[in-house]
Amino acid sequence: MEDTMWGGRFSESIDERMARFQNSYPFDWRLWAEDIRGSAAWARQLHTAGILSDGELAALLAGLDAVRAEYAEGRFQARPDDEDIHSAVERRLGELAGAVAGKLHTGRSRNDQVATDVRLWTLGAIARADAGLRELQAALLAQSEAAGEALLPGYTHLQRAQPILLAHWLLSHFWPIQRDRARLADCARRAAVLPLGSGALAGTPLNIDRAALAADLGFAAASPNSLDAVSDRDFVAEFLFCAATIGTHLSRLAEDMVIYSTSEFGFVTLADAYSTGSSLMPQKKNPDSFELLRGKSGRLVGHLVGMLTVLKGLPAAYDKDLQEDKEPLFDAADTLELALPVAAGAIATARFNTGRMHAAIDDAMLATDLADYLVERAVPFREAHKAVGALVRAAEARGVALSALPFEVYRTCHAAFEEDVLDVFSPARSAASRQVPGATAPAAVRLQIEQARACL
Ligand code: ARG
């Protein structure tokens, strides 16, 4: 037992099944860069605190550099009894640097060490996710700019509602991602707090300058409470919430794209490069990119729920349950890293069939505009709504479009209708009439594009 790092007080070896059960190396090896970075910073503080001589510090830093090189070059040889990344790095450091390696863990616990590593890793994952989101935003913005004043039938309840600009719809998927980026930035602010120096739970007895240590590792501040610091995984849950929300947004964008790419809609044609075929039906071209983007939201939401469930009801301070933070964190970050470039590429290469969109805008989508026409002639909106409802019914009964109804029918439904009512049946005019900021008029959308550009 003397070869495990905690074996001193044990007389019996660990059960082999228990060893496998508790071993986190198969997943937490991914923290190697952060673990080594944290250890180097800790060694520098041990030196400042007078625990390490100049020579010992140099030997430790050189040893850590050598371990880092082994990982970076894929040469690191893990052993089955390396129970986690922290013990693996320390074991190898001992082999390379000798007995001085035994001084590195002075005044430190794996509890504050792992919390530090995971925070550093999360900050990196946030930066990568932000870059992926930005790329998707750029694709949406480029398509919005290319769309010009092309019109799209806008839907509510997936029923034809009112004409809008294609660019307006595209940008409706830009802004949720902008909020996701803001949420990630906020998450990063809370993740950038240093746990190291908290020891196992009560704080290190060494005279460590935690502010300097925080600065050395790029953290904004040191944690205010050591018990909280070793067990706080809010930043993981927050990252997972951000990822789940991103997944939700991707799934909504994906659903629109899946629907719009059907033969029935035909509004968009996906690039072959982001579609796949069927092994059975030769004619099929499936929107797998967007279906998978929609599907991946399931695991992202699942990781959030799983993490919150692990954290709920844990007694102070560190508990081994917390080892369960890593797999959801890594998988969520990996999923985003896989998904976001695909989303960006599939949007960037999609072809929007503006003719099909325009053809799908029927007269009934201008019924609100007909009511507005009456409102402009001082008719109360409720009365106008009723009159236009009667017109829609009349058109349906005759099986004709609203604009094809004889003028007498208009007059019967409301005396305020004049011959110029037919001017209402212009989808472009309808869209152009909605000019307030945030609305779909071309000028308002141009302003929106400016705002979107400023975000990138
Ligand atoms: N592998 C552990 C984890 O990921 C490291 C911390 C272990 N701490 C302890 N007291 N056993 O949480």
In this structure, are strands 268-269 and 351-352 parallel, antiparallel, or unpaired? antiparallel
Are residues 175 and 273 located together in one domain of the fold?
yes
The span from the CA of 143 to the CA of 129, in Å, is: 22
Helix count and strand count (H, E) for the chain: 19, 6
Which of 24, 110, 322 to mutate for ligand 1's pocket (most ligand atoms within 8 Å of CB)?
A: 110
Q: Which two tokens stand for residue 114?
A: 């792992």
Are residues 349 and 368 located together in one domain of the fold?
no
- Among 52, 76, 106, which residue terminates a domain? 106
Domain annotation covers residue 392 = yes
- Among 321, 342, 357, which residue terminates a domain? 357
- pLDDT of the residue at 231: 98
Are residues 340 and 325 located together in one domain of the fold?
yes
Are residues 238 and 186 located together in one domain of the fold?
yes
- Residue 157 is a catalytic residue: yes
- Among 106, 135, 170, which residue terminates a domain? 106
Domain annotation covers residue 159 = yes
In this structure, are strands 193-194 and 159-165 parallel, antiparallel, or unpaired? unpaired
Are residues 147 and 60 located together in one domain of the fold?
no
Q: What are phi and psi of 15, to 5 degrees?
A: -60, 140
Q: Is the CB of 111 inside a 6 Å radius of any atom of ligand 1?
A: yes
Domain annotation covers residue 1 = no
Tell how far the Cα of 98 is from the centroid of ligand 1, in angstroms.
24
Are residues 101 and 207 located together in one domain of the fold?
no
Residue type, 247: G
- Residue 278 is a catalytic residue: yes
* Containing structural domain, residue 346: 111-357
Q: Is the CB of 130 inside a 6 Å radius of any atom of ligand 1?
A: no
* Overall average pLDDT of the 46-65 stretch: 98
Nearest alpha-carbon partner for 237 in 312, 138, 295, 289: 312
Q: Is the CB of 324 inside a 6 Å radius of any atom of ligand 1?
A: no
pLDDT of 1 over the 60 cut = no
The span from the CA of 335 to the CA of 425, in Å, is: 46
Domain annotation covers residue 263 = yes
Mean pLDDT, the chain, rounded, equals: 96
- pLDDT of the residue at 53: 98
- pLDDT of the residue at 47: 98
Which percentage of the chain shows pLDDT scores above 70? 99
Q: Which two tokens stand for residue 69?
A: 């090189």
Are residues 370 and 341 located together in one domain of the fold?
no
Q: What are phi and psi of 286, to 5 degrees?
A: -100, 145
| Closest ligand 1 atom, residue 322 Cα | 12
In this structure, are strands 151-156 and 159-165 parallel, antiparallel, or unpaired? antiparallel
Which of 14, 84, 236 to mutate for ligand 1's pocket (most ligand atoms within 8 Å of CB)?
A: 84
Q: How many domains does the chain have?
A: 3
- pLDDT of the residue at 8: 83
Counting Cα atoms < 13 Å in the Cβ hemisphere of 413 gives 25
* Overall average pLDDT of the 109-126 stretch: 98
- Own/partner contacts of 58-62, CB < 8 Å, gap of 24 or more, are 59/97, 59/98, 59/100, 60/93, 60/97, 60/100, 60/101, 60/103, 60/104, 62/97
Are residues 420 and 339 located together in one domain of the fold?
no
What CATH code is carried by the domain that includes residue 44? 1.10.275.10
Residues paired with 222 in a beta bridge: 194
**What is the CB neighbour count within 10 angstroms for residue 87?**
20
The span from the CA of 180 to the CA of 398, in Å, is: 49
Tell how far the Cα of 192 is from the centroid of ligand 1, in angstroms.
20
What CATH code is carried by the domain that includes residue 417? 1.10.40.30
In this structure, are strands 268-269 and 221-222 parallel, antiparallel, or unpaired? unpaired
Report which protein residue has its CA nearest ligand 1's atom 11.
Answer: 320
Domain annotation covers residue 220 = yes
pLDDT of 295 over the 80 cut = yes
- pLDDT of the residue at 279: 85
pLDDT of 142 over the 80 cut = yes
- pLDDT of the residue at 3: 67
Model confidence over 183-208: pLDDT tens digits?
999 999 999 999 999 999 999 999 99
Domain annotation covers residue 2 = no
Q: Is the CB of 322 inside a 6 Å radius of any atom of ligand 1?
A: yes
Domain annotation covers residue 73 = yes
* Overall average pLDDT of the 7-36 stretch: 94
Q: How sure is the predictor about 286, in pLDDT bands with cuts at 50, 70 and 90?
A: very high
Are residues 78 and 122 located together in one domain of the fold?
no
Are residues 177 and 93 located together in one domain of the fold?
no
* Overall average pLDDT of the 416-435 stretch: 95
Q: Is the CB of 123 inside a 6 Å radius of any atom of ligand 1?
A: no
- pLDDT of the residue at 282: 84
Are residues 189 and 272 located together in one domain of the fold?
yes
The span from the CA of 380 to the CA of 78, in Å, is: 78
Q: What are phi and psi of 401, to 5 degrees?
A: -75, 155
Model confidence over 59-86: pLDDT tens digits?
999 999 999 999 999 999 999 999 999 9
* Overall average pLDDT of the 90-117 stretch: 98
Are residues 130 and 166 located together in one domain of the fold?
yes
